[in-house]
Amino acid sequence: MPQPLPIQFLAPDLDALATQPGRIAVLAEPDQTPSAGFRKLDRLTKGALTRAVASTAFGKLKPGDAMDLAWPTGLQAEAVQILRLPKRADQQQARKAGAAVGKAHGAAATLVLAEGHPRAADIAFGLALRAYAFDTHKTGEKKPRGPVSLAVTNPEAVARTAAPMAAVAEGVFFTRDLVNEPANVLTTSDFAARLAAMQELGLQVEILEEDELRRLGMGALLGVGQGSESPSKVVVMQWNGGGGEAPFALIGKGVVFDTGGISIKPAGGMEDMTMDMGGAGVVAGVMRTLALRKAKANVVGLVGLVENMPDGKAQRPGDVVKSMKGDTIEVINTDAEGRLVLADVLWYAQERFKPVGMINLATLTGAIIIALGHENTGVFSNNDDLCNAFLSAAKAEGEGAWRMPMGEAYDEKLKSRVADMMNVGGRDGGAITAAQFLARFVKPEVPWCHLDIAGTALLKSDSMLAPKGATGWGVMTLDRLIRDRFEG
């Protein structure tokens, strides 16, 4: 898997700037006293940096944006990148500045003159996240990546601050890799094997195969995968870094490819359904992060891995399946399969682990994209305290999230003539009725959030911290939630 760029933290050596190869990034803000590194570069380039910062173009930049001076006189460097970043920049502005460096970084070395900026670690974090590239399946010689250094006044202290961020970055990369992988590579078996390999990090990993799932009564989950050659599985990952308390549970939808089943999707855009395991990908990335940074919390991550294919053995519209809970479900639309997978895994998580709370993630509905676009994940919850804590963590990490309504009136749309419920309730309020369906498999006393990440898991264009493709949305937020709520 692609690894985050290794970043070296070192003390500034201003005398070496004239012969520094590759790219140099330096921080600036009009009307603020420039740093020693800026002043040295400015002298070497005969005032070019001062003129650039005084220009109308630089004045129009927002905090975190950048301007390049190509092949500057007096330097061996091929470019000086001037980052507009005030000394009192917030976390998101600093990460944005780092992302500008990461986006421009290539085969040449990059030196970032962060010097005494209090957000130097966040600059490094943004740089690492934006420098991600998924080129696993491209043939030919891989594009080389040059070394990256951050020149800071206190390298040891900044490195200590940056260390847990590096663990988060690796978790985000792991999620992005999973979501970006094609379905002929990331089968249910391959997915499970990648998760099992994380035992070397200290996670306890179990793989429940179809025979065990049948014994447990997971008829809803098994019904989704019965038309596929890939066997359905549930993978359980435990991180026991806390005391003797019950764990917090993360549950992910892992549909490695979704044709829609017998209710087959249109051909246009179906190739994007390789990302329908995005919820499971986020859970895996969070669990990797917790293990890498040795989190002092007990967390269990559970993912239901299936493939939804049309076949002579596939379930049909009108079939009735029985969930692990014992409720029966009339399958009106086989393309509303994710909720069937989650229903059984949610119930299993509660029965086995008695968690203090649960959050499930799923690329569940197109309806949430209609409601919120690609800027925000839809958040549904039965518990204000957990929901508000999650929303606070999302805001702190700059990951868009918006709470959506729930209510008993929506349950009327799920009534079935032949079973306890239907798996869909019509087009109107589709994201809400999906959440209402899931809520039936959550015990009243268990705090729970459902995150519909259909619009945020994968983007068609670049975002601030990621190139187009998988974003890894949610890894940063859930890691922060666990740190703030269970490790504080």
Question: Where in the sequence numbering do the catalytic residues fall?
Answer: 265, 339
Residues 294 and 393: their CA atoms lie apart, in Å, by 20
Residues 267 and 372: their CA atoms lie apart, in Å, by 24
Q: Name the amino acid, one letter, at 32.
A: Q
Q: Please state whether 474 falls in left (phi above 0), alpha (psi between -120 and 50) or beta.
A: left
In residues, how long is the chain?
488
Residues 329 and 337: their CA atoms lie apart, in Å, by 12
Query: 181 and 271 in contact (C-beta within 8 Å)?
Result: no
Query: 328 and 272 in contact (C-beta within 8 Å)?
Result: no
What is each CA distance from 353 to 219, 250, 478, in whole angstroms?
20, 11, 19
Q: What residues form DSSP beta bridges with 112?
A: 25, 150
Query: 368 and 452 in contact (C-beta within 8 Å)?
Result: yes
Residues 8 and 170: their CA atoms lie apart, in Å, by 16
**Contacts by residues 51-59 (CB-CB < 8 Å, ≥ 24 positions apart):** 52/82, 53/28, 53/82, 54/30, 58/28, 58/30, 58/82, 58/84, 59/30
What are the two backbone dihedrals, phi and then psi, of residue 452, each rounded to the nearest 5 degrees? -95, 105
∠ CA 345-350-355, rounded to 5°: 120
Query: 278 and 458 in contact (C-beta within 8 Å)?
Result: yes
Quickly list DSSP for 357-421. EEEEEE---SHHHHHHTTT-EEEEES-HHHHHHHHHHHHHHT--EEE----GGGGGGG--SSSSE
Q: Which residues, 6 or more positions from 298, have their beta carbon under 8 angstroms from its beta carbon? A: 238, 239, 240, 241, 242, 243, 245, 246, 247, 248, 486
Give which of 261, 447, 280 is closest to 350, Cα–Cα: 447
Q: Please state whether 115 falls in left (phi above 0), alpha (psi between -120 and 50) or beta.
A: left
DSSP 261: T
Residues 329 and 193: their CA atoms lie apart, in Å, by 31
